[in-house]
Amino acid sequence: MPGRPILKLFTALVKARGGFAVLYDRIAAGEAVKAIAADYQVSRPFLYRELTKTEKAKELYRLAQQEAADALAEQAGEILDNAPEERDAIRKAELRANHRKWLATVFDKEKFGESKPGPTVQVTLGQLHLQAVSDHGVIQQAKADFVARQAKEAELAGTTPVKALPPPATEMVTVPKAELERLRKLAELNRERERLERSWNDDEPEDETP
């Protein structure tokens, strides 16, 4: 078959360079599939078919593209930051950055696609102050009620009430909901990728001998 020599050469290069995981890592880093294909001496369609020939491989490819979206967004920022302060250079940098931003939306529409603005709530400083005063009053009243109830119980029991120790101070760190969701999704993607890469050996192309 005419395509077998190419497949044998490609398979040999893949194994010599660390396996198929290396290919997915390069895609995840934002490298173009066409450039990777040239490095492995095959065409882009050939490489794409090999990287998506099974359901597991398709999932790995999809995960790599989602990771690439982050890399491309970072590249867009670096291009703009490093652009010379000249009109033509800035214009060229904007075009390159916009292309990478567009690719990021293609690879991960959920994260980089246009999103509809959510509902907003407008409050004034006066409202915030009144709310803070109200919350403080509720807390103080709750403390007073607790002390009075404790004293009443002690009086009925004929004992001296024991003052409750204050709860230990804890440092509260507020993390935006969007950031928590991003970290959760990234962890899921990494776990899924590791799982699929471990099972990849079952579907790797065999080194055929004539």
Domain segments of the chain as ranges:
4-112, 128-158
Q: Provide the pLDDT for residue 19.
A: 92
What is 4-112's CATH number?
1.10.10.60
Q: Provide the pLDDT for residue 41.
A: 93
The pLDDT tens digits for 124-170 are 545 545 555 555 555 566 566 666 666 666 666 665 555 555 555 44
Dmax (CA) of the chain: 100
pTM to 2 decimals?
A: 0.52
- Locus of tokens 């005419």: 2
pLDDT above 90 coverage of the chain, percent: 25
Q: Provide the pLDDT for residue 208.
A: 43
For 137, phi then psi, to 5°, come to: -65, -40
Higher pLDDT, 161 or 6: 6
Higher pLDDT, 4 or 132: 4
Average pLDDT over residues 188-197: 69
Contact by Cβ (8 Å): 6, 42: yes
Indicate the pLDDT class of residue 123, thresholds 50, 70 and 90: very low
**Tokens read off for 92:** 């060229």
Average pLDDT over residues 30-47: 94
